[in-house]
Amino acid sequence: MKTTAISLAALFVAGCAATEQLTPEKVEADITTEGLRNNLWHLLRIAKENGGNRAFGLPGYKASLDFVYERAVKRFGAHMDTYIQPFNHTFEQTRKIEVKGPDGKPVHAITLLYNPATPAGGVTAQLVDTPVDDTKGSLCLPEQWKGVDVKGKLALIKRGVCGIAEKLKLARQAGALGVILYNHEPGTAYGSATLGAANIGQLVPCGMIPLEVGNAWSARIKAGEKLTASLLVDSIFETRLTWNLISETKEGDPNNVVMLGAHLDGVQAGPGINDDGSGSSALLEIMGSIKKYKGFPNKIRFAWWGAEESGLVGSLYYTKNLSEEEADKIRFYFNYDMIGSIAPFFRVYQGKNPGDVHGAKVLHSYLSAKGKPAEFAPFGTSSDYVGFLNIGVPSSGLFTGAGAPMDPCYHQHCDTLENIDWSAITHNAKAAGRAAAHFALSLEGVPGRTKTTPNLRGRANLLSQFEKWAKVESEAEDSHSSFSHIIIIIIFFFSLLIRLLRNLQLRQCWWNISVRVFGVIARSSLVGWQRVGLSCLCSLARCLPSQPISVSPSSQPSQPSQPGPAIVSTPSIVTITCGHHPSSASKRHIAIRRSQSQALILAAGGSIIAIPAILPITNPRGDQSWTLLRATVAATPSQANALAERRIILLEKDQLQYSLNLPFPTSLGKDSGDWDTGENTSSSKGLRGSIRSKISGKDKDRDNHASATPSTGAAQPLDKSDSASIKSARSQRSASNPTNHAAPVSPQTANPTGEKSTPPTSPTDDSTLGPTSPIGEGDRVPSPPPSPSQSRSLGKGHHALDEQTGEVDQVSDKPAGQAGPHTATDTSTLTPKEPILIRPTGSSLPVNSGKETLEESPGGHSQFGMSALNALDLDEMITRLLDAGYAGKVTKTVCLKNAEITAICSAAREVFLGQPSLIELKAPVKIVGDVHGQYTDLLRMFEMCGFPPSANFLFLGDYVDRGKQSLETILLLMCYKLKYPENFFLLRGNHECANVTRVYGFYDECKRRCNVKIWKTFVDTFNTLPIAAIVAGKIFCVHGGLSPSLSHMDDIRNIQRPTDVPDYGLLNDLLWSDPADMQNDWEENERGVSYCFGKKVILEFLQRHDFDLVCRAHMVVEDGYEFFNDRTLVTVFSAPNYCGEFDNWGAVMSVSSELLCSFELIKPLDSAALKSHIKKGRNKRNSLYPQSPPVTRGPQSY
């Protein structure tokens, strides 16, 4: 072999002697998702540090090679021999590609590998439409060019099924200046392809555009228009050095080699994490396991191939340089390319070589035993097995699909960690590890290399055909993604059958498998972090008996007394105390996270003076134990009242007494000691510090909510996870007066400076956030706060809390006819709250409830408009939808008829179009993030916050896709929108788009449970949704984020609806962009669409438009909410336990009439707890309110 040896010295040899015997089971157990993710994280980091890719000829590939080499030599060198095999190949890079249409504006275009360059200024010429042949391929054969005049012109050609290079060759022969190729599938989710290095000098320049654009231009030309287009390709070609990396075990017979391969390079368009970081990562994990064991007679060889994306060049170079003797030693080759696709098909390669079946059987048996719908598939011509097939080596491998729906980010910028199905990559890697160990132990029955097969099986023939094989990648994408719809259906039902046969613990897993087949589930880099403790406020709101108590100004609570008016004289330092009453003697204490308690304080705009201490309190009666949380805060009386409204007992140092009619224990004893929470605190902070890199440490040091004295001017940092709530007031961010930061005030009160006072600190507190905090004086005396609104609906039995699930065991004991505002059967008789929609004139229009509202809405003359909906009875449809939510299962059909769904959509379109693209709202309002078809969790959210019309709601988009019940979710939300059009608002998310719903599940759900026409009806409705909202003139709400195209709010107001989401521009950015902790103002988004924007952009946006806060959704965050950039932006995500795997909390941001922002959280429940919750809710509804949802439960806020 023509290889260059690298030093085999092991740098780490201590304890390196393997002592255990190798078994397939041990290798399987060693391979973990965490290890695979770690490898891919490093490959993604390398790509980001090197221009966004790891492609041949560029620095990213060399850095990737160094990473694998370091693992192989420095970590595994005592057990592995590692070699580098260099070779040269033609490097191609398109530095710029641009296609301009007849209007002179650029359209979305991608280049192809080895695309020849145009003249420096590009070419502008007449655009000629050409015949389409979807059977044989458009203009692939010389006879198809007869009568086509493209000389001196640009040819518009459909991509189709044949090789692109053949089209371009024939176009060059016909005299075309270039080709504008339009894709054969809709949308822009298509990857590039290669034209082959062997075709350099034989082709014309080409740019590929979307099908929709090409069809539109073709139609205009057919109609007689004469169109002119422009094509610019700036590309280079040069020979560059690259490398394969080969590493093999020291142990084992060198004459019997089992070989595993994956390509290490990616395309220039993206980081290549699935294609093929997934296979490369699997090989590293298998190597790390194999090196631990001994006792295997056959050698294992690992190969990381270079320049695969340029035409399988690295593996073909390796195989063509093998001698006959060296080739005979390779007994089996396994290829692992793209084994973690987001919606995987589990394909096991098996060819015609008699030996192939042995390896394929091992892989297939393991995957099938694990319940994966594995299927045998023939080899194509698109991956590194080609070279081995053509020298007769028995081969197999794994592949999970490319192109939508399996991998919609194939060969694109969005091929990142979010493009990986972690279950698929883990099971495939384990299967690969077992197969390697199996063959390392025994090659019994595996035949030798086939030497008599004609056509490219011999070394001489392979040498002569090397350049031909180097260009077969031109067919890669077609062979990657050509699967039968029948196979899809078979696999889907196969997964469902397995789900029914498995035990209860695995059923949710198998459901996920079945929906992944349709590309419904997407992943994030975050997974399943364990939560610590329960919410103090959540516990207090649910389980305390309704007994009034008066709190004395002393440090210890007094005996209960009758409630009286609040007595407030001046602003002061206050201490808050809240408690939890365990529901059983075995649950004596509940751990409370500090971050949650700090969130509790900040919710009312207070500043933390002492980190809360947790104290166990014993009732004098001795029959119960209380867990109390005490913290010292700086707060004005109005803020103290706001704290009181959230069920917090206030203990004031300056003889200020609050007597509130709050549910609390009949008596409280003395403090019985301190409770050390150091373990919980450290684990919580350490965990969040390791996974949250969006806010830098220096940002945390400048925390505006930290208390500081004017003498030092220094503020102690708060962990970002503790920054749970903010007060929307510009004075909080004022840099000119740091003393104001410690005590923000409500908009209704003045903010004079006053004398500083020193608060007490807890004896158990080991760290404070500041010594003092200046407080203003002169605030007016507020009226006593009312009792919490939820307490009015809590019956005497509403006191038991299920601590495992975080759910209330009882609901109100009122009769069904008096269930309050959350009863679906009587909402038509209720008067909605005051409208919060601000019309352009500044006034709100009155809103009537029920059918009268529908009749007065615009567009009532529509066939399926308001009048049709009146006859169908909106209230009855809401009831049916709620009944479906508490039924506990997903039915084959929707509870509404297709005609009713059409009527709802038609009426909703009229209402949406009757309101502006940028809606302006008054507070109070509850802001909800992504829901994603998690219908049961949506109902849990309404149970927590109140069913309409008891509260005003603003949803930020992403109602469908990925969840099981997207139809029920969007239908219920639309029904509430129709019933309360000026108190219930829905914004558009990036998933309210035809192209996205086609891939991520909503299209399939509509097709399965209704029909495709219903999906189109919803898409038409999505195209009319409002885009953004402004709350109280201070909070800007949008699904995604900001845009460089947004200079004035009128830019949003002027967006014409209905409209689809364009590929770029203002609307695209508002739905897709993300914040990032970076120095640059704007960077490309790793999602592959829109931008990431930095802190400076947010601050300038807030200042320019006089806003205090940007509130957006679009991103999974562990706590359900997360602040960015000094709390100038917050992300709200409302789907708990997203996709059944992330264990994240859901959140709803509540904005009070005084612009106090707080968060109510929805606990993630596993499948068993969720089923228990559904069952309890169903039983309560059946027994108490046969036709209504449960009454509101206490908020799960912190």
What is the phi/psi pair of residue 1124, to 5°? Answer: -130, 150
Half-sphere exposure in the Cβ direction for 1096 (13 Å, CA): 7
Residue 358 known to be catalytic: no
Rounded Cα–Cα distance for residues 435 and 258 (Å):
10
Beta carbons within 10 angstroms of residue 689's beta carbon: 14
Rounded Cα–Cα distance for residues 960 and 965 (Å):
8
Of the chain, the end-to-end C-alpha distance in Å amounts to: 66
Half-sphere exposure in the Cβ direction for 226 (13 Å, CA): 3
Burial of 253 (0-12, 13-18, 19+ CB in 10 A): middle
Enumerate the H helices of 838-959 as residue ranges: 850-856, 866-872, 874-885, 898-913, 935-945
Evaluate whether 844 touches 967 at the Cβ level (below 8 Å).
no
Q: What is the CA radius of gyration of the chain?
A: 33
Rounded Cα–Cα distance for residues 120 and 1165 (Å):
60
Enumerate the H helices of 1126-1166 as residue ranges: none
For 273, residues 6+ apart whose C-beta sits below 8 A from its C-beta are 40, 43, 44, 47, 415, 416, 417, 419, 420
> Tokens 């399988």 correspond to what residue?
312
Half-sphere exposure in the Cβ direction for 1030 (13 Å, CA): 19
Of 519, 113, 39, the C-alpha closest to 279 is 39
Tell me the angle at which helices 1167-1183 and 504-516 cross, rounded to the nearest 10 degrees. Answer: 100
Of 295, 299, 318, 315, the C-alpha closest to 307 is 315
Burial of 619 (0-12, 13-18, 19+ CB in 10 A): middle
Evaluate whether 811 touches 833 at the Cβ level (below 8 Å).
no
Q: What is the 3-state secondary structure of 309-348?
A: HHCCHHHHHHHHCCCHHHHHHEEEEEEECCCCCCCCCEEE
Burial of 93 (0-12, 13-18, 19+ CB in 10 A): middle
Token readout for 643 is 């704290």
b/e map 563-593, b = 16+ CB within 10 Å: beebebeebbbbbbbbbbbbbeeeeeebebb
Tell me the angle at which helices 678-691 and 594-602 cross, rounded to the nearest 10 degrees. Answer: 80
Could you say which of 42, 263, 991, 1114 is catalytic? 991
Rounded Cα–Cα distance for residues 1112 and 1098 (Å):
12
Of 437, 469, 244, the C-alpha closest to 332 is 437
> Tokens 């709400």 correspond to what residue?
1037
Of 808, 807, 887, the C-alpha closest to 1163 is 807
* Catalytic residue numbers, as ranges: 991
